[in-house]
Amino acid sequence: MKRCVIIGGAPIGNYEAVRDYLDSENDYYIYCDCGLKHREMLGADPDLIIGDFDSIEKPETQTEMIILPHVKDDTDTMFAAKEGVRRGFADFLLLGVIGARFDHSLANISMMLWLHSRGCRALLVDDYSEMEIVGKEPVYIPDSFGYYSLLAVDGKAEGLNEVEAFYPLENAELTPEFPLGVSNEALPGKTAKVWVEKGRLLLIKDRGGK
């Protein structure tokens, strides 16, 4: 099954690094509204274009397009995620969805939680980091990454375990009120492993390396 790549309109500064995540043979590209500005630099043609075109002129193209109303409940990227799930995708890559609009950035974290609730994996990539949701299924962080952080963005998380990490945890609890999970790292030559028994966390992995 192909992966669904959703491209939003937030700035992308390091196109070279972001392009390394793309697989033109196995990716299905959904461009959301002004996310089309990234098309040339990403070198990836859209399979589907979605938007209300309030921030970019509607393109003249033969590519499949879903035109949304200006007044709606879903953001363009949320609609794209729903459409991707409707079309059978279970693996998502999110680009251009973290930026100056902090409200939209947080909304797209909520979108990741929505995808996770439906059994989908979503990897969000920006100029500096990778982000994904951690639940019961373990997620691995090689020591090639820099710092990583775990944040309680979905209420209390219980039974947090971190192994092969500089700050290991066993059966710990994280809440949104105290950022205990900020700035950990895998031990040298090791791959950290993290999971929670109850609840979910946002994992942010620094791509800066060590």
Q: What is the pLDDT of residues 16-46, one digit of tens each?
A: 999 999 998 899 999 999 999 999 999 999 9
Which amino acid makes up residue 89? F
pLDDT of residue 33: 93
Kindly report the average pLDDT of the chain as a whole number: 95
pLDDT of residue 54: 84
Alpha-carbon gap, residue 3 to 127, rounded angstroms: 20
pLDDT of residue 208: 82
Q: Please name every residue paired with 137 in a beta bridge, in sequence order, or none if there are none.
A: none
Question: In this structure, which topology does domain 3-127 adopt according to CATH?
Answer: Rossmann fold (3.40.50)
Looking at the structure, give the CATH architecture of the domain made up of residues 134-206: Sandwich (2.60)
- For residue 197, which of 177, 176, 178, 169 has the smallest C-alpha distance? 169
List the single range of 41-45, 70-74, 129-133, 138-142 with lowest mean pLDDT: 70-74
pLDDT of residue 98: 96
pLDDT of residue 210: 60
Whether residue 145 is predicted with pLDDT greater than 80 in this model: the reply is: yes
Residue 75 neighbours by CB distance under 10 Å: 21
Alpha helices in the chain (DSSP H): 15-19, 39-42, 76-86, 102-117
Residue boundaries of the structural domains of the chain: 3-127, 134-206
Instruction: Report, as an integer, the average pLDDT of 152-172.
Output: 97
Q: What is the pLDDT of residues 86-130, one digit of tens each?
A: 999 999 999 999 998 999 999 999 999 999 999 999 999 999 999
Query: Residue 56: which pLDDT band, with cuts at 50, 70 and 90?
Result: confident
74: Cβ contacts below 8 Å, ≥ 6 apart? 68, 82
pLDDT of residue 15: 96
Whether residue 3 is predicted with pLDDT greater than 80 in this model: the reply is: yes
What SS3 class is residue 85? helix
Cα angle 48, 121, 171; round to 5: 160
- Residue matched to tokens 């373990």: 138
Instruction: Report, as an integer, the average pLDDT of 58-75.
Output: 92
Alpha-carbon gap, residue 175 to 181, rounded angstroms: 10
Whether residue 169 is predicted with pLDDT greater than 70 in this model: the reply is: yes
Whether residue 192 is predicted with pLDDT greater than 80 in this model: the reply is: yes
